[in-house]
Amino acid sequence: MKTLLINLLLLSTITLSAQAYNSKEFSVSRNDLNINNFIKDSTANALVIYEYGKSYIDANDFLLKTEYQKKVKILNRNGFKYATIEIELYKNKNSKETISDIVATTFNSKNGALTSTRLNPSDIYYEDVTQNHTTVRFTLPNIKEGSVITYSYKLSSPYIYKYHEWIFQEDIPKLYSEFVTSIPGNYNYNIKLVGDYKFFESTSKIEGQCLKGRSGSYADCGVTNYVIKDLPAFIEEDYMTSKLNFISRLDFELKTIKHFDGSVDQITKTWKDVDHELKSDKDIGLQIRKSLKAEDFISANIIKDKDPLNKAQAIYSYVQDQYTWNGDYKIFSDTSVKELIKNKSGNTSSINILLHNLLRDCNIEVKPVLLSTRNKGFATKLYPVMSDFNYLIVQAKIGDETFFLDATEANLPFGSLPFRCLNGYGRLIDFKKGSKWVDIEVEKPSQLAYRLEMDIINDSLKINVGTNKTGYFAIDSKKEFNSNPEIYKKNFQDNHPIFSVLEHTIKETGRNMPLFQEDIKINTCLNPITKTIDGVTKNTLYINPILFTLFDKNPFTLQERSYPIDFGYKKTFSYILKLNIKNYTVAEVPKNAVYAMPNKAGMLQFSVNQQEDFILINLKFSLDQPVYNHEYYDSLKALSSQLINIQKNSIIVLNSI
């Protein structure tokens, strides 16, 4: 028996080994075609078996060259989309990236024999998507379930300041990814690994005299192989910032070039250098230092107000009312404050620099802050990369309080930022003391609160609803309501088709006040079930007490999540219901429930209090952190699951016919 067990284990090992994909090389093996699943991820529609790239500076033309190879298994029909390849090329007025030697082949198995179909060069398309970007697109032919595709190409780029980025992780699993860099010693790059996955292999060697200049000068190259194996698919889920913050990749930023004549170009500068350049920049420094007279814009009563907070709020409201954001995020552009004043429309920088300058002229301590919005990704803190920033806001200090201000949206309360700006931190610009990083956080939780009273009338419910929203719940609702009140009310009805809305009133709280309140009167029908109990015929009514929800379904469905859960702000959801039950018999009520996350990071409380004439239900759900580390994922998933289950509960009441 022992010998048999050993033999079975050996046979199992040999079988598993024989069934492995060929992740060691670009060529296609029989196993690559014959295996039609991926045990580690049964949900995968396709699989990267092998990927290889090499970037180097060509000794002949001093261009950055990249050679690329990739082998992909198509596991099912949903994976067919991975047979369409798109490659983006950058260009400007003076130079451009080019692509050459595109070779793409589809491999299939027919009657046990390997067949191949090669891409026709005429099926490669070039599309100018923007003034600066061209997309190269092709679709491999003869794709079937179980196909293996391979493709390769060469890139040539004059933009050596931006070494070729390498993306290790994708939205499908990857067995093997290798990137080889060959960097001359006179090129000094900042290299940054993003993501949680470490290198399986990282080896370096010196290649002598890889780059030669005039008069016998030369440079040696450092050649490094970076390898990561067995990368899971990166699945995007709700409540995250840009995936570029977390997906495993290598970034390169050129720091210095030492030319063969001995001169040195400082490409990546220090923050001290950047501060000096920003001070004289026509789009930032010159605009910020431009002198404006507040009396040319706002009333004397505002200027003379002795309360600096009132004064700042009035100036903020003035800029909101008078100037419109054109949707442009850029911090460097041709829209000056002068043009903004003339056209009444401009980008974020011009609007907020005008706000900055008016506040400063009224003796409010202000500083501009550069940041990167949520969809762009985090700005690197390792060294200055100005292209990381795409937004400008204002920091104002009034007494002991610090406010971050953005006047681009008319409904935004003083001291609140648009949700797009809640990306962790920004760079405060101070031309006298030097710039520094500042955290951008929302301290107060946003609240969504409902208070309902229900009356059972025959086979329907008459319901009075009071809604109270603060923070970002209020901001979102105000923006929608002020845009078109009638559409806002229509959307409410459309989103709740089981309701018949009798009256819908919005309480006026001021355009940019941090509060939104509404009263709604609705009817909804019940579907009674007639039963005879002990000879008495009765109607059984099933009443769902939770008519309004924070989550309709659990937003957390992954088995595990390796990146943070970023809500942007703390939030609380409260729901109080009084159900009048006079003349009705209560057959069943939901059970009380309490659930708390570790470290008091979130909680759920649900209580049911039954009295003679009414039932009082109280539900409270809170998320007490704006951002949760991924270790909290399971408890967040469980907390949300508890909430979803509570929302499905019913109160069962009986009445005689």
Give the relative orientation of helices 471-483 and 485-495 as an angle to the nearest 10 degrees.
120
Set out the domains of the chain in order of their start, with CATH numbers: 2-264 (2.60.40.3140), 273-440 (3.10.620.30), 446-656 (2.60.120.1130)
The answer to whether 258 and 186 are in contact (CB under 8 A) is: yes
pLDDT of residue 11: 40
Which of 149, 170, 147, 173 is closest to 36 using CA atoms? 147
The answer to whether 475 and 603 are in contact (CB under 8 A) is: no
Phi, psi of 471 (to 5 degrees): 60, -135
Listed in sequence order, the residues at least 6 apart from 434 whose beta carbon sits closer than 8 Å to its beta carbon are 271, 272, 275
pLDDT of residue 7: 47
Give the Cα separation of 561 and 548 in Å (integer).
28
Q: How far is CA 546 from CA 35, 331, 450, 493, 574, in A?
A: 49, 46, 10, 17, 11
Phi, psi of 434 (to 5 degrees): 95, 150
Mean pLDDT, consecutive 10-residue stretches, the chain (657 aa), reads 45 48 96 94 96 95 96 98 97 94 96 93 95 96 97 95 93 97 93 91 94 85 96 94 94 89 86 91 87 90 94 96 91 80 92 95 96 94 90 96 96 95 96 95 95 93 96 94 93 93 90 91 88 72 92 91 95 97 91 95 96 96 96 96 94 81
Give the Cα separation of 642 and 635 in Å (integer).
10
pLDDT of residue 196: 86
Strands, E, within 399-555: which ranges?
A: 401-405, 424-428, 436-440, 446-457, 460-470, 500-507, 515-525, 529-533, 536-543
pLDDT of residue 570: 97
Give the Cα separation of 138 and 160 in Å (integer).
27
pLDDT of residue 387: 87
Widest pairwise Cα distance in the chain: 111
Element at 155 (helix H, strand E) = strand 148-157
pLDDT of residue 216: 81
pLDDT of residue 214: 76
